[in-house]
Chain A
């Protein structure tokens, strides 16, 4: 079980619990605003872009090369950016705070 907190662009904070699947799927199932997950999680749409809290980066790790190539051309991206369809839910993610990019 992991508790994951999303902060949307209008500063609403939503904490969700999950045990498996991707963070994107958890967010979409619960209607988190700004996470659309258009491509269903295959890393082709970038509609699941989040900024990880700096102190949580050690839990999530940094973007893979393919993910980084997608983010490189996203004007909102920074060093804390991840496509959250590439974050697999597990105990290691417990407590992370993600700011929705859109």
Chain B
């Protein structure tokens, strides 16, 4: 197996049955594995709801570690749409030239720094700082905040070995509470202040609602971006011809980003709570149990993708669900896409080759399945383009 490969552990179950079973903290999950089923289920919010007990649609479940409802994530239409309308324009700011210019500066300076080192641990020394610094642009907060976020390490909710860690979650919650109080005392142009002054159903958003949006923004955009960045570096290390191609044809970077999102599927799955007895791919599913939309499996569905286990850098038709599908599709996608696109173009113009020195894979254990999502650590050397 190549070092950068992310094998598809779901193929057999997807082809033979269409679903898998996962027992998560005695609240079992039926994992839906086929693209069509995943899409249909994501669309049908009445039977497959997100507005369940906070934390329950996450796999592994977070019901025991939080009460705050994440917004708009744990809300169903039509109210979901009202929240979404408030936050959507803010999350589209990465389309502005000025935003992209700042992001480019951040990424270029990080890459330049790495070119002077003989050994760079990509997860902690590259992807984490990149993600944290970029988040200051999305939140419109001072750059120096990124130092605090970097100091939290890669696992805000998760710590090595055990799936869920309440202490780690508390660091984030306490931090966000403080920031909300600061924004109330001294409003500015940052995301907290903008949310606090937003109108919702004829009133302002409450502190608890603002917290629900902010927690989601921190949590949803952390591991996902870190894995996407790290996996991209590992792939380019093993495929110098792809780096070369991006150098010659920078215009394909957008398609390459979509293909990376499909192949890496940084978020493996997301759950829904079933509101009535139903069936998916001829399999009965009981009310008040959970299903999951397994984006990672759907994105390798050979019924839709030719050569699904291959990275085709300029794949032209690529109806992947790496950023989700329908009502809850990823709000941070505009930001994530810009990060990855600028990263690819920066690497192509500055880096000649990347050597992998050593690494430890990050494997998710999902009962029947074991899925590699990225790396716990991976040391590389970036060589200057000469």
Contact = CB atoms under 8 A, between A and B. Distances in A.
Interface of A: 38-45, 64, 66, 69-70, 73
B319 A70 contact: yes
19 contacts: A38-B337, A39-B318, A40-B255, A40-B337, A42-B258, A42-B317, A42-B319, A43-B318, A43-B319, A44-B320, A44-B321, A45-B323, A64-B317, A66-B304, A66-B317, A69-B304, A73-B40, A73-B43, A73-B325
B248 to A, nearest CB: 19
A66 B304 CA distance: 8
B316 interface: yes
B138 interface: no
Contacts of A70: 319
Interface string B290-325: 000000000000001000000000011111110101
Interface of B: 36, 39-40, 43, 254-255, 257-258, 304, 315-321, 323, 325-326, 329, 333-334, 337
A64 B319 CA distance: 12
B319 A44 contact: yes
B318 A73 contact: no
A38 B319 contact: no
A64 B36 CA distance: 16
Contacts of B257: 40
A43 B315 CA distance: 11
B193 to A, nearest CB: 26
Contacts of B337: 38, 40
A8 B321 CA distance: 27
B334 A38 contact: yes
Contacts of B255: 40, 42
A39 B256 CA distance: 11
Contacts of A40: 254-255, 257-258, 337
A66 B317 CA distance: 8
A36 to B, nearest CB: 8
B130 to A, nearest CB: 21
Nearest to B261: A44
B36 A42 contact: no
Contact of B39 (A45, A64, A73): A73
A58 B285 CA distance: 44
Given A66-B304, A73-B40, A73-B326, A38 B333 contact: yes
Contacts of A69: 36, 39, 304, 319
Most chain B CB within a 10 A radius of its CB, from A38, A41, A42, A69: A42
A43 B40 CA distance: 17
Nearest to B334: A38
A39 B258 contact: yes
Contacts of B318: 39, 42-44
B342 to A, nearest CB: 14
A59 to B, nearest CB: 21
A22 to B, nearest CB: 11
A42 B253 CA distance: 12
Nearest to A40: B254
Contacts of B317: 42-43, 64, 66
A73 to B, nearest CB: 4
Nearest to A75: B43
Nearest to B42: A73
B165 to A, nearest CB: 34
A72 to B, nearest CB: 9
A60 B97 CA distance: 33
A57 B180 CA distance: 53
Contacts of B326: 73
A48 to B, nearest CB: 13
Given A40-B255, A40-B258, A41-B254, 5 more contacts: A38-B334, A42-B255, A42-B258, A66-B304, A66-B319
B315 A42 contact: yes
Contacts of A42: 255, 258, 315-320
A41 to B, nearest CB: 8
Contacts of B315: 42
B196 to A, nearest CB: 27
